[in-house]
């Protein structure tokens, strides 16, 4: 399920600089990683390529650039490192080109806006668990223009605020201490850079699970051009009131911000995939499968272990595939779990941001599987979905390409990954086959639906939710589909079970509900 190699050129015409060296290219590395990037040293002589260029170092080379890419079939141009806006990407022309521009000065600078992103030292793989948050407000950085002076004045004397003002870029705390204190912070004021509201601090805060308060304009009054943020400061004198609101609603405020951030990163990935598909005239950049994982309050929270195990097992089986993690709201019967559930979400979101490739969907009201899945399918562009509940995980060798082929070829709508080593005797009456069949892949046809892990056609999932579930119906999918599959002809819901020789168990159940009763569903 790997895409074809994607040629990437880290290009520069500057005689004393290299094309791949800058902090602001970290986000480019992250953006391209799912598309099987292969670095090439020079602009290729045939085909197409993604070309990354540090804009500031290459200002004035736009005509030369146009000439050097003229022979290519297609180009994705990514301009980085140009806070002053000296390079003019619109002047690099080609019949089939798409332009990504970092810290753009106008919306017309490119086809896609690329955030500045985190620095390469932001992440620490050794920090596995979500850090404790014991600093209310933290800022460390240069205070060299009026917007920053206004920020410092606003937060001086704010209870729980730690401010470290320096005279220049990267002249204060060493990186290790800086990031440790960032990870301990809940709120991080992010005044504008000298030429653009974007700063590394915004993304260092987001990667650290903090809530950034982002400036609305530059020192000379220019409005910000770039991604949307949850908390935008008009005048810094009002920022302490915003900070207090974040702190009073913690960790809900942080969870909302973190979910939006991770979803925004996935939108960037989807944008790149769409452009590559258009330029190459194929769907090679479309993921073959999207994983859907629902979660809701259980007795074990705030412990995230079950969900982390589910997500990790997916990543082990299917590296790089997109995951949609659905956080249900809290039922009235479980209102006493809300605090633990929100802390659980904070911890899970820390893990999902570390592994990447996750779109978190948070539901303010309890919605249940049917409603959440209907919404999650809006994020799905792949032909297949893999459904994995939060207290289950995958195990063993699974022939994903072969099973996916059985579905995309039309032989099956759903193939279950069984949670028992064999078909149990009480369930044999629901089986249509005594021995596995289907084009060399051992699959048993069945009328038994289970919400335990299963691979399915995304189109089929959309159809079943339309046919068998009312809009707004709050219920579990299995509660409806088990009866549908037993009463309808098998050809209407072509469900199978992967049944390799010997032990057919390919998924496990951790019993997240435990002793808690199953609450009523909307029939």
C-alpha to C-alpha distance for 359 and 365, rounded to whole angstroms:
18
Assess if residue 514 is contained within a domain.
no
Pairing label, strands 384-387, 97-102: unpaired
Mean pLDDT of 504-522: 87
What's the pLDDT score for residue 170? 61
**Is 347 found in the same domain as 307?**
yes
Assess if residue 309 is contained within a domain.
yes
Tens-digit pLDDT profile for residues 391-429 = 999 999 999 999 999 999 999 999 999 999 999 999 999
Rg of the chain (C-alpha set): 25
Task: Check if the beta carbon of residue 230 is closer than 8 Å to that of residue 265.
Answer: no
**Is 323 found in the same domain as 471?**
yes
Task: Check if the beta carbon of residue 377 is closer than 8 Å to that of residue 463.
Answer: no
> Rounded to 5 degrees, what are φ and ψ at 223?
-70, 155
CATH of the domain at 200: 3.40.50
C-alpha to C-alpha distance for 518 and 260, rounded to whole angstroms:
31
Q: Count of domains in the chain?
A: 3
Q: How confident is the model at residue 16 (pLDDT cuts 50, 70, 90)?
A: confident
Assess if residue 520 is contained within a domain.
no
Q: Among the three residues 231, 250, 269, which one is the final residue of a domain in this structure?
A: 250
**Is 343 found in the same domain as 305?**
yes
Assess if residue 89 is contained within a domain.
yes
Assess if residue 342 is contained within a domain.
yes
Got the DSSP string for 197-257? S--HHHHHHHHTT-EEEEESB-TT-PBP-S---SSEESSGGGHHHHHHHHHHTTTHHHHHH
**Is 449 found in the same domain as 373?**
yes
Mean pLDDT of 30-53: 95
Assess if residue 274 is contained within a domain.
no
**Is 289 found in the same domain as 233?**
no
What's the pLDDT score for residue 166? 82
Burial class (CB in 10 A: 0-12, 13-18, 19+), 87: buried
Assess if residue 185 is contained within a domain.
yes
Q: Among the three residues 69, 84, 114, which one is the final residue of a domain in this structure?
A: 114
Task: Find the helix packing angle between 338-355 and 305-317, rounded to 10°.
Answer: 20
**Is 290 found in the same domain as 211?**
no
Tens-digit pLDDT profile for residues 173-208 = 889 999 999 999 999 999 998 888 999 999 999 999
Mean pLDDT of 2-25: 89
Q: Of the given ranges (70-79, 163-172, 258-267), which has the lowest mean pLDDT?
A: 163-172
Phi-psi region of 101 (alpha: psi -120 to 50; beta: other; left: phi over 0): beta
Task: Check if the beta carbon of residue 111 is closer than 8 Å to that of residue 167.
Answer: no
**Is 445 found in the same domain as 359?**
yes
Whole-model pTM? Answer: 0.95
**Is 220 found in the same domain as 314?**
no
Q: Among the three residues 250, 271, 290, which one is the final residue of a domain in this structure?
A: 250
Residue 171 pLDDT > 90:
no
Mean pLDDT of 338-366: 97
Assess if residue 227 is contained within a domain.
yes
Residue 267 pLDDT > 80:
yes
Beta strand ranges found along 57-149 (DSSP E): 74-80, 97-102, 112-114, 135-142
**Is 332 found in the same domain as 288?**
yes
Domain encompassing residue 180: 135-250
What's the pLDDT score for residue 439? 64
**Is 245 found in the same domain as 322?**
no
């Amino acid at each position: 399920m790997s895409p074809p190699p994607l040629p990437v050129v880290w290009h520069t015409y500057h005689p004393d600089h290299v094309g791949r060296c800058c902090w602001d290219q970290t986000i480019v590395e992250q953006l391209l990683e799912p598309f099987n990037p292969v670095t090439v040293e020079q602009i290729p002589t045939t085909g197409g390529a993604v070309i990354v260029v540090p804009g500031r170092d290459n200002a004035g080379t736009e005509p030369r650039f146009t000439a050097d890419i003229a022979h290519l079939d297609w180009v994705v141009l990514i301009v980085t490192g140009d806070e002053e806006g000296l390079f003019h990407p619109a002047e690099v022309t080609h019949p089939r080109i798409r332009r990504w521009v970092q810290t753009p000065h106008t919306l017309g600078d490119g086809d896609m806006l690329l955030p500045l992103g985190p620095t390469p030292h932001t992440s620490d793989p050794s920090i596995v668990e979500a850090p404790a948050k014991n600093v209310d407000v933290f800022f460390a950085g240069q205070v060299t223009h009026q917007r920053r002076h206004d920020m410092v004045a606003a937060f001086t004397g704010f209870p729980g605020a730690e401010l470290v003002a320096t005279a220049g870029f990267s002249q204060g705390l060493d990186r290790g201490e800086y990031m440790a204190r960032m990870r301990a912070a809940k709120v991080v004021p992010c005044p504008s850079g000298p030429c653009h509201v974007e700063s590394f601090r915004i993304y260092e805060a987001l990667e650290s699970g903090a809530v950034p308060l982002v400036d609305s304009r530059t020192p000379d009054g220019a409005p910000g051009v770039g991604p949307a943020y949850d908390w935008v400061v008009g005048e810094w004198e009002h920022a302490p009131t915003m900070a207090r609101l974040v702190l009073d609603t913690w960790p809900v405020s942080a969870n909302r911000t973190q979910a939006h951030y991770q979803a925004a990163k996935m939108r960037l990935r989807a944008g790149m995939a769409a452009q590559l598909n258009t330029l190459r005239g194929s769907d090679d950049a479309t993921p073959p499968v999207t994983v859907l994982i629902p979660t809701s309050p259980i007795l074990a929270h705030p412990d995230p272990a079950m969900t982390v195990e589910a997500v990790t097992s997916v990543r082990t089986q299917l590296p790089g595939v997109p995951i949609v993690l659905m956080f249900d709201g809290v039922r009235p019967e479980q209102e006493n779990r809300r605090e633990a559930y929100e802390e659980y979400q904070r911890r899970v979101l820390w893990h999902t941001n570390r592994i990447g490739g996750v779109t978190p969907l948070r539901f303010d009201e309890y919605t249940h599987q049917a409603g959440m899945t209907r919404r999650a399918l809006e994020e799905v562009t792949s032909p297949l979905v893999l459904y994995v509940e939060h207290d289950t995980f995958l195990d063993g060798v699974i022939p994903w390409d072969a099973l996916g082929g059985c579905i995309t070829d039309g032989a099956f709508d759903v193939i279950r990954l069984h949670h028992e080593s064999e078909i149990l005797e009480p369930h044999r009456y629901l089986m249509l086959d005594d021995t596995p069949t289907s084009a060399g892949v051992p699959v048993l046809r069945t009328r038994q639906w289970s919400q335990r892990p299963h691979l399915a056609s995304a189109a089929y999932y959309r159809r079943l939710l339309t046919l068998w579930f009312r809009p707004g119906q709050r219920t579990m999918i299995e509660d409806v589909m088990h009866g549908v599959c037993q009463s309808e002809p098998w050809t209407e819901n072509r469900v199978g079970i992967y049944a390799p020789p010997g032990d057919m168990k390919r998924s496990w159940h951790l019993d997240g509900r435990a002793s808690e009763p199953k609450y009523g569903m909307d029939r």
